Amino acid sequence: MTQDWRRDAAIYQIYPRSFQDSNGDGIGDLQGIRERLPYVASLGVDAIWISPFVRSPMKDFGYDVEDYCAIEPMFGDLTVFDALLADAHELGLKVLMDQVWNHTSDQHPWFRESRENRDNPKADWYVWQDPALDGGPPNNWRATFGGSAWQFDDIRRQYYLHNFLDSQPDLNWYNPQVRQAILQVGRFWLDRGVDGFRLDVINFLAYDRSLADNPERPPDVPRPAGAGHTDPYFERINRGTVCRPETLEMLGDIRQMADDYPGTVLLGEISSAEDSLADAADYVRDGRLHLAYNASLISDEPFTAIGLHNLLTRTLELFPHHQLCWTFGTHDFPRLKGRWIRSSQHEAILEQRLDVLLISLLVGLPGACCIYQGDELGLTQAQLTFEDLRDPYGIANWPNLHGRDGCRTPMPWQATLPHGGFSQARSSWLPMPAEHLPLAVDRQQGEAGSLLNTYRRMLLWRRHMPALRGGETKLFSPQGNVLIFERGDGENRILCIYNFAPEPATLDLSTLPDANSCYKLCEEVSPEARLNAQALQLPAFGVSFLFA
């Protein structure tokens, strides 16, 4: 059993704009999060990750930072944050802040000074380049949100790099002064008592200083995991800005800062990588970050036993110390049920079983896991009109891509209240989908078999199972569409078995390597499952955990 909470943490992601509005302006805030902390603690998670709430013009809803060390007034102030932090710790919850260190807002004082001229003290704090010979951008690099990654500035008469919105200029991480300034930001929050950081697009820090063009994607080279099929950003292989080897060298100072605060966690987002698993492994190797997450479980296709077996095989090779944080989605991806379950067109009872299978998979996998707010309720992807959209990415790419608003709609707390109890305002920043109201917390709270209470039961069970909190993982060959692996060591071993087929399956346990005659059910996940001698009968999308 691991003694390091970071290696097997269950982390709950909160998108503050959509969690709970406490002051009636239609936007969630820190006081709202504070009021709902007992609910989060009841889930059995170890930590919360709160998406950005620092000072921002909100062009990208907080991921465009104007002041790293001040709270955006619409969310509250430092007094409220300190109270939230104290309450979370009292409830046994760690608190992770989202830190956006790749870029700032163009309203940040650093950028305002940098753009004044070419020889001021911060002139080299951002990535500036002269125009190409034809007066255009320096190369063909694209921004993830569409268009060129370069924006011409009329004041400096140069282009600046922006991997996201043109209002989000990239910091120049090759400049040691920039690195020191960012470390001061980290220490400011760690000194206040936060328990770590989720590091936004941490694999974008460096860029290719030769400025070579990005090559077009060959027809036989698939798009990265999680990449949209029609997203023009992935028409090229973005080697000039994504997962540069220089970025790995820049992580040492960040890790040293974290090590000065024992128990602190660094969770890195590895975004848009060509090989999401291999690249994520680089970021946790050799004492860099503690954990990394990527899009390896964020798929538009139904999971299969053989597909997951192959994924786990690679994961165990690349992450021998279980430093991968598994997730089915975040605020950046369509909700899981919008990607898979809706497209599967299974009848309602099978969808319910599939919901249970997925949380059972998340708690059984080796490593940490992250749960996005509302997934524990089974929320579907909201289908919004163009007029409802607020996400600049969705607005710019409509109708080919619908953006991220569909997974950011407000949390439904009480089914019969306006806006589902999220807000008392006349209107909220995004609408409450009518189909989410029957899934509200108050509707599921008292139902023993609800998905919400299944999440609670599974997460709390995981917390008290030594075999699932460290130890080895042994993979067995799939039987049909049944995934099988074993967790734990010595006498603390659990066999994790998942039927990914929409029909029943029977598993012959005697065919497993090192099979014994003493298997017994240790958690009733699928009540219809039957264990008779060496035969395990699983219903469609059934799950069993057996003491081995």
The set of catalytic residues is 200, 269
Strand 291-293 relative to strand 265-269: parallel, antiparallel, unpaired? parallel
110 token code pair: 């650093």
| CB-CB contact of 542 with 527 (8 Å) | no
**φ, ψ for residue 544, nearest 5 deg:** -140, 140
67 token code pair: 């002041």
Helix (H, G, I), strand (E, B) or coil at 296: coil
- Vertex 156 angle, CA 112 and 135, to 5°: 140
C-alpha torsion sign, points 251, 254, 255, 256: positive
Determine the straight-line distance between the first and last CA of the chain, rounded to whole angstroms.
16
| Amino acid in position 38 | P
Helix (H, G, I), strand (E, B) or coil at 457: helix
- Vertex 239 angle, CA 237 and 245, to 5°: 150
C-alpha torsion sign, points 273, 127, 158, 129: negative
Between CA 462 and CA 456 the distance in angstroms is 10
Which residue from 417, 463, 459, 457 is spatially nearest to 441, judged by alpha carbons?
417
| CB-CB contact of 98 with 136 (8 Å) | no
Identify the residue whose tokens are 């219809």: 528
| CB-CB contact of 462 with 434 (8 Å) | no
E strands, 284-345, in order = 291-293, 325-327
Strand partners, 543: 498
Which residue from 367, 360, 297 is spatially nearest to 327, judged by alpha carbons?
297
* Displacement of CA 303 from its chain's centroid (Å): 19
Strand 482-489 relative to strand 473-479: parallel, antiparallel, unpaired? antiparallel
Strand 473-479 relative to strand 505-508: parallel, antiparallel, unpaired? unpaired
For 159, residues 6+ apart whose C-beta sits below 8 A from its C-beta are 128, 129, 130, 131, 137, 138, 150, 151, 152, 153
| Amino acid in position 331 | H
The Cβ of residue 310 has, within 10 Å, a number of other Cβ atoms equal to 13
| Amino acid in position 469 | R
